[in-house]
Amino acid sequence: MSSSPAELVRQFHLAFGLDARGTPTEVSPALAAHRGELLAEEAAEVAEVAVSGPLDRLAHELADVVYVAYGTALVHGIDLDAVIAEIHRSNMTKLGPDGQIARRADGKVLKGEHYEAPDVPAVLRRQGWVPGGAA
Ligand SMILES: [Mg+2]
């Protein structure tokens, strides 16, 4: 049995009769808003404990954010692992072929000349997404 977040969250959605789609789909505005609110609530809980902790609360709330984010992706039929892989691919292009890292004075990693932006629409199209198409 896989213990990836995507699989665990799928089990939860199936067990509780929550929406789960297999193809990227625009859902009803009410459902989309509901998912957005759930995620905002969890993000706010992270912000509450981010500085003062305790660390177990931070760990809990971070996990809640990821869990709800995977759930929201599942509701919309998005394979989030594939999207994360594309974001990672893009982020790694911030490292030049010479291994040089461009940083701002405050330490933020800058996009170098070899940077490639993530192509999330292409990832979703590979998953069967038809932009603006009927579900
Ligand atoms: Mg929470």
58, two tokens: 């931070």
Expressed in angstroms and rounded, the spacing between residue 59 Cα and the centre of ligand 1 is: 10
If asked whether residues 30 and 54 sit together in one domain, one would say yes
- Same domain, yes or no, for 74 and 87? no
Do 59 and 6 belong together in one domain? yes
Q: Which two tokens stand for residue 96?
A: 């030049």
pLDDT at 102: 79
Is 66 in a helix, a strand, or coil? helix
23 Cα: distance to centroid of ligand 1 (angstroms): 28
Q: Collapsing DSSP states into helix, strand and coil, what is residue 109? A: strand
The token duo for 18 is 């929550």
Separation of 120 CA from ligand 1 center, angstroms? 28
What's residue 104's pLDDT? 86
Query: pLDDT of the chain along its 135 residues, tens only?
Result: 568 999 999 999 999 999 999 999 999 999 999 999 999 999 999 999 999 989 999 999 999 999 999 999 999 999 999 999 999 999 998 887 788 887 888 988 888 888 999 999 999 999 999 988 654
Residues 57 and 113 in one domain: no
Residue 34: predicted pLDDT: 97
In whole angstroms, give the CA distance from residue 91 to residue 88. 5
State the pTM of this model.
0.89
Residue 38 C-alpha to ligand 1 middle, in angstroms?
Answer: 9
Clarify whether residues 45 and 73 are in a common domain. yes
Task: Judge whether 55 lies within some domain.
Answer: yes
From 57, 78, 99, the end of a domain falls on 78
pLDDT of res. 61: 97
* C-alpha 134 – ligand 1 centre gap (Å): 34
Domain coverage including residue 66: 1-78
CATH number at residue 36: 1.10.3420.10
